[in-house]
Amino acid sequence: MKKLITICLILFALGCGMGIAGAFAGGELYGSYYDGALHSVRESLWDAGEFIDSHVRDGLRFREWRDDGGYHSGWFFDDDDDRSFSVVGWDKVYVPDIDDVPAPDIRKLELSFDGGDYRIVEGDEFDCSGAIVRKSEMHGGTWELSLRHKNSTETTITLPEMAFDKLECNIGAASLTIDIPLAVEKAEFNIGAGELFLNEPLDAAKIEVECGLGNASLQLTGQESDYGYEVAASMGSVTLNGNELAGGLAGTYRSSSGGSRKLELNVGAGTIDVTTQD
């Protein structure tokens, strides 16, 4: 293995040396083909800069929206009307009407968040107009809703009072705060490098949290004795009511039969902090 690494490093050094020597000798590195000709890296970078500079001044903008045909995105001129699709307005992306998703038919709510800060609050009507809706589909009793941050401010998502059995939240590099009490049979939270804050107690028979580099703070109904748990931590930590269950001196894995409610908590290099109503 060491010999292979050594050989690779030698070949890499030779390649760099030959590239530098070729550049001093007046050579060019070609890597792009457009306008019917092969262009060097230097020419490609120069042409790209010229294109962006001139066209942005002329009103070229990146747009994305969703209509009945699905999700669309691309670079367009603001005054370009020669399009094969109909767009109501650049700032009016598709927002699903709650009437299009019959609440009694929803058995599972699956939410995905892509970057930015989000806050879920309770209201009379569903609203996520502050976010770009990348996907909104109803299939087999599951409402799958994927959101993308629209600007630098916090995005507020309003949910009306709904009854569903399962909740799944997929949080990449986003921050999600939930300010409404939730009661479900099963709650699942998948966190990459983001954050999750449950500011109201969650009432669930089973709770699963997968946390990579991020952080999760959960408030749960009931007492600590109501929960059995399986927890695992790599470089991070899991705490329950201030007591470390896994990570550091507590070890990498711990379980308890406990009560009838179940906790499955798995953390990489992040933290999971759980508080019950003792």
Tokens linked to 135: 């996907």
Question: How far is Cα 235 from Cα 22, in angstroms, rounded to an integer?
Answer: 47
User: Which pLDDT score is estimated for 71?
Assistant: 59
Please answer whether residues 209 and 229 qualify as being in contact, where contact means their C-beta atoms are separated by less than 8 angstroms.
no
CB contact set of 192 (below 8 Å; sequence gap of 6+) = 171, 172, 173, 212, 213, 214
pLDDT value for 174: 92
Taking the alpha carbons of 6, 8, 14, 19 in that order, is the dihedral positive or negative? negative
- pLDDT tens figures, 219-278: 999 999 999 999 999 889 999 999 999 987 667 888 888 889 999 999 999 999 999 986
pTM of the model: 0.66
Residue found under tokens 């001129």: 77
Would the pLDDT of 37 be above 50?
A: yes
pLDDT band at 47 (very low <50, low <70, confident <90, very high): low
- Residue 21 near residue 33 (C-beta atoms within 8 A): no
pLDDT of res. 66: 59
Return the SS3 of 77.
Answer: strand
Query: In which element (H, E) is residue 16 found?
Result: helix 2-24
| Alpha carbons 237 and 276: distance in angstroms, whole number | 17
pLDDT tier at 30, thresholds 50, 70, 90:
low
Q: For the segment 187-217, what is each residue's pLDDT rounded down to a tens digit? A: 999 999 999 999 999 999 999 999 999 999 9
In sequence order, what DSSP letters do the residues of 233-253 get, joined into one string?
ESSSEEEETTEEEESGGG-SE
Distance CA 209, CA 202 (A): 13
Looking at residue 4, the DSSP 8-state letter turns out to be H
Query: What does the DSSP 8-state code read for residue 84?
Result: S
pLDDT value at 63 more than 50: yes
Of 9-23, 28-42, 67-81, least confident by mean pLDDT is 67-81
The mean pLDDT value for 174-179 works out to: 95
Distance of CA 45 to the CA centre of its chain: 31
76-99 mean pLDDT: 45
**What was the pLDDT predicted at 188?**
97
pLDDT tens by residue, 133-154? 888 888 888 888 888 887 767 8
